[in-house]
Amino acid sequence: MTIRGGFMGRLQSGDEVTYDLRSLDRRAIALIARYLRPRRTRLLLAGLAMLGVTATSLLLPYLSKVIVDEYIAVGDLGGLALFSVLYLALNGLFWLGSYWQGYLSAWVGQQVIYDLRRDLMHQVMRQSPDFVEQERVGQIASRLTNDVNSLSDAVSAGLLNLVGDLLLMVGIVIVMALIDWVLTLVTLVAVPIVMLSMAYLGKQMRRAYRDVQQEIARVNAGVEQGVSGMRVVQSLGQESFTVEQFQELSLRNMKANLRVSLLFAAVFPTMTITNMLGIALVLSFGGLRVIQGLTTVGTLLAFLAYIQRFFGPLRELSLIYNNLQAAAAALDRVVDYVDREPDVREPESPRLPEGGFQGRVVLRDLTFGYEPDEPVLKELSLTIEPGETVALVGATGAGKSTLAALLTRLHDVQQGAIELDGVDVRDLPLDALRSNVLLVSQDVFLFPDTIRENIRYARPEATDEEVEQAALRAQAHDFITRLPLGYDTQVGESGALLSGGQRQLVALARALMVEPRVLILDEATANVDAHTEALIQQAMAAIGRDRTMIVIAHRFSTLRSANRILVLEDGQLVGEGTHEALIESNPVYQRLYQRQWAESAAETQD
Q: Which is nearer to ligand ADP, 378 or 564 (CB)?
A: 378
Question: Does residue 222 bind ligand ADP (CB under 6 A)?
Answer: no
Amino acid at 138: G
Contacted entry of Mg ion, ligand ADP, none for residue 402, CB cut-off 5 to 8 Å set by kind: ligand ADP
370 binding ligand ADP? (CB under 6 A):
yes
For the CB of residue 378, give the shortest distance to ligand ADP in the complex, in Å.
12
In SS3 terms, 391-444 reads as EEECCCCCCHHHHHHHHCCCCCCCEEEEEECCEEHHHCCHHHHHHHEEEECCCC
Q: How far is the CB of 450 from Mg ion (least distance, A)?
A: 29
Report the C-alpha gap between 363 and 95 in whole angstroms: 71
* Of 286, 399, 544, 575, the one binding ligand ADP by CB under 6 A: 399
Work out the end-to-end distance of the chain between its first and last CA atoms, rounded to an integer number of angstroms: 66
Residue showing the smallest CB distance to Mg ion in the complex: 401
Q: Which is nearer to Mg ion, 354 or 374 (CB)?
A: 374
Find the binder of Mg ion among 156, 401, 408, 548 (CB under 5 A).
Answer: 401
Region of 34-42, 213-221, 330-338, 391-399 interacting with ligand ADP (CB under 6 A): 391-399
CB of 134 to Mg ion, least distance (A): 20
550 Cβ partners below 8 Å, 6+ apart?
A: 361, 384, 389, 390, 392, 404, 407, 518, 519, 520, 521
How many Å apart are CA 441 and CA 521, to the nearest integer? 6
Q: How many chain residues bind ligand ADP (CB under 6 A)? A: 10
Amino acid at residue number 262: L
Closest CA to 554 of 573, 519, 527: 527
Helix (H, G, I), strand (E, B) or coil at 604: helix
Q: Whose Cβ is closer to Mg ion: residue 161's or residue 401's?
A: 401
Helix ranges restricted to H, 67-153: 77-126, 129-135, 137-142, 148-153
Q: Tell me the window of 147-155, 222-230, 400-408, 431-439 that interacts with ligand ADP (CB under 6 A).
A: 400-408
In angstroms, the CA 206 to CA 148 distance is: 19
401 contributes a contact to ligand ADP by CB under 6 A:
yes
Segment near Mg ion (CB under 5 A); pick from 170-178, 269-277, 309-317, 399-407: 399-407
Is 397 a binding residue for ligand ADP by CB under 6 A? The answer is yes
Separation between Cα atoms, residue 452 and residue 441, nearest integer Å: 20
We find the least distance from the C-beta atom of residue 552 to Mg ion, in angstroms, to be 7
Which segment (214-222, 392-400, 470-478, 572-580) binds ligand ADP by CB under 6 A?
392-400
In the bound state with Mg ion, the residue whose beta carbon lies nearer, of 325 and 401, is: 401
Give yes or no for a contact between 483 and 402, defined as CB atoms under 8 angstroms apart. Answer: no
DSSP structure class, residue 349: S
Task: By CB under 6 A, name the one of 240, 349, 396, 605 that touches ligand ADP.
Answer: 396
CB of 138 to Mg ion, least distance (A): 26
Interface with ligand ADP (CB under 6 A): 370, 376, 394, 396-402
